C-alpha cells in the first residue's frame, strides 16, 4: 500500500548544476560548483544537485584520483559545501572521490540546510566496461574505487528522497527498493557518457514511471580534453508519469524548476502499481532454476 504523504510539503524548488569538471583543476572545479550553488540559491532553490565526480574525473591517468583529488568526508570540499548549504538554507549533494583509510569510493554526501552531514551514499554499482567499443579503450571503475554496501534515502520536509549515482540507473532493483522505502523522489548524480544519450533519457523516464515518483538527474556535459571522453549532459527532472518537466541544453548551465511532490500520491491513487505488485512471482521459474 502506498504511503500517505498528504501531510508533507508539496512544492520543492530544485536546481541542477550541469558542468564539466576540468582535469588537474580541483580548486577551480570546487569554485565553479560553489558559484553555481550561489546562483541556484538566488533563484530560490531548496535542493541543489551537483554532478558525479565534480571535483575531478580522474579518467586521464591511473593515479591522480587518489593522489590529487580524493579526500575524506568530512574534509575540505565537504566543509565548503556545508558552508554554502548553511548560508543559503538548502539541501545539497553531488559526488566526488572519497578516501577512507586505504580505500577509495565514489561518494555523495547529503547535506542539510544547517550544514550538517545527513549521510554519505557510496556508489554501489561500478562502471566496469572494458570491452565497450564506443568508449575506447574501455573503463573499469573498480580498479579505482570500492563499491558501497547499502542504499541511502533521507527524510526531508518534502518526504523521503533517495540518492543514486550514474550507472545505478541501469539496475531497476535499486529504484524499486528506494520506492518501497517510501521515497517520493530519487536523485541521480551522474557523468553519463554521450554515446548512450538515448539510454540516459529512456532509463530516467522508465524509473520514474515504474515507481511513480520524481527523478532529479544531473550530470557532466562536454568533452574532457585530457581523456577525450564526452558526457551526455541533458540534466532533467521527470515526473511520476514519466514526463520530462525540465531539461538542460548542451552547455554548462543551471536547470531550475519546482517539483509538485503531491503528484506522487495523485498518480499512485489513480493506479496503485506498488500495491499491485506480486513479489511471490518475482523469482526464477522452476524450470530455469533446475537448469542452473
**Phi, psi torsion values for 256, nearest 5 degrees:** -120, 135
Q: What is the DSSP letter of 110?
A: E
Q: In this structure, what C-alpha cell is assigned to residue 4?
A: 500517505
Active site residue 280: no
Buried b (16+ CB within 10 A) or exposed e, 227-242: eebbbbbbbbbbbbeb
Active site residue 123: yes
Q: How far apart are CA 61 and CA 68, in angstroms?
A: 11
Q: How far apart are CA 50 and CA 121, in angstroms?
A: 14
Helix (H) / strand (E) containing 109 = strand 103-111
Q: Is 283 helix (H, G, I), strand (E, B) or coil?
A: coil
Residue pair 32/272 in contact (Cβ under 8 Å)? The answer is no
Integer angstrom CA distances of residue 140 from 130, 143, 216: 6, 6, 26
Active site residue 152: no
| Options 23, 98, 123, 144, the catalytic residue | 123
Closest CA to 208 of 233, 234, 184: 184
Residue pair 80/30 in contact (Cβ under 8 Å)? The answer is yes
| Options 166, 183, 188, 201, the catalytic residue | 166
| Options 52, 144, 188, 201, the catalytic residue | 52
Helix residue ranges per DSSP H, the chain: 26-42, 64, 76-88, 172-180, 197-211, 262-270, 286-291
Which residues participate in catalysis according to the annotation? 52, 123, 166
Amino acid at each position: 500500500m502506498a504511503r500517505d504523504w498528504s501531510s508533507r510539503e508539496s512544492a520543492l524548488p530544485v536546481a541542477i548544476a550541469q558542468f564539466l569538471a576540468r582535469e588537474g583543476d580541483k580548486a577551480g572545479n570546487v569554485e565553479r560548483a560553489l558559484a553555481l550553488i550561489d546562483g541556484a540559491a538566488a533563484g530560490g532553490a531548496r535542493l541543489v544537485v551537483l554532478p558525479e565526480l565534480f571535483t575531478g574525473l580522474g579518467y586521464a591517468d591511473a593515479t591522480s584520483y587518489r593522489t590529487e583529488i580524493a579526500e575524506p568526508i568530512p574534509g575540505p570540499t565537504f566543509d565548503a559545501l556545508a558552508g554554502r548549504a548553511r548560508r543559503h538554507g538548502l539541501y545539497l549533494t553531488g559526488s566526488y572521490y572519497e578516501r577512507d583509510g586505504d580505500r577509495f569510493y565514489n561518494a555523495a554526501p547529503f547535506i542539510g540546510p544547517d550544514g550538517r552531514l545527513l549521510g554519505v551514499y557510496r556508489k554501489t554499482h561500478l562502471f566496469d566496461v572494458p570491452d565497450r567499443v564506443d568508449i575506447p579503450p574501455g573503463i573499469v571503475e573498480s580498479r579505482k574505487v570500492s563499491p558501497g554496501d547499502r542504499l541511502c534515502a533521507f527524510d526531508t520536509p518534502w518526504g523521503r528522497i533517495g540518492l543514486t549515482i550514474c550507472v545505478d540507473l541501469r539496475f531497476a532493483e535499486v529504484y524499486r527498493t528506494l520506492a518501497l522505502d517510501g521515497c517520493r523522489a530519487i536523485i541521480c548524480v551522474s557523468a553519463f557518457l554521450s554515446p548512450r544519450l538515448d539510454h540516459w533519457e529512456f532509463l530516467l523516464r522508465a524509473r520514474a514511471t515504474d515507481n511513480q515518483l520524481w527523478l532529479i538527474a544531473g550530470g557532466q556535459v562536454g568533452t574532457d580534453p585530457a581523456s577525450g571522453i564526452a558526457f551526455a549532459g541533458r540534466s532533467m527532472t521527470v515526473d511520476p508519469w514519466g514526463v520530462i518537466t525540465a531539461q538542460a541544453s548542451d552547455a554548462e548551465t543551471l536547470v531550475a524548476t519546482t517539483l509538485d511532490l503531491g503528484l506522487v500520491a495523485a498518480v499512485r491513487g489513480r493506479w496503485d502499481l506498488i500495491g499491485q505488485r506480486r513479489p511471490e512471482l518475482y523469482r526464477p521459474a522452476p524450470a530455469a532454476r533446475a537448469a542452473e
